[in-house]
Amino acid sequence: MDLVEEQLRNSRTIAVVGLSDNPERFSHRVAKYLQDQGYRIIPVNPMLEEVLGERCYPELKAVPEPIDMVDIFRRSELVAPVVEQAIEVKAKYIWMQDGVINQEAAAQAEAAGIPVVMDD
């Protein structure tokens, strides 16, 4: 089993960091698809109150429940603080979406025992 399959198989609750309320945005389409497949989506965006019928949180540390996967839709240079919070909240996995590449943040997560999918 590859890491992508492992993450999807072993995750039920996915925090989507940078989730947009615009249905045309990739983050929205991916989150909607995951939601339609039965995953619990937790939107993380400080600019929004609600997305896809779910309460939106300003940051990972504000989410009041365990997170299996952190799915990151942020520019590569903005990923490090998200990864630091993912480590702090003890997320099981991190997935940096297509075009999101931050080797240092990925190494930090992996050093903390959190597998990372990056730019896949």
Residue 4, pLDDT score: 85
Please choose, from the candidates 97, 104, 87, 93, the residue with its C-alpha nearest in 3D space to the C-alpha of residue 118: 97
Residue 93, pLDDT score: 97
Cβ pair 17, 70 in contact under 8 A: yes
Residue 62, pLDDT score: 98
Residue 110, pLDDT score: 97
Angstrom CA distances, 1 to 10, 73, 120, stand at 12, 25, 16
| Digitized pLDDT (tens) for each residue of the chain, 120 residues in all | 788 898 899 999 999 999 999 999 999 999 999 999 999 999 999 999 999 999 999 999 999 999 999 999 999 999 999 999 999 999 999 999 989 999 999 999 999 999 999 987
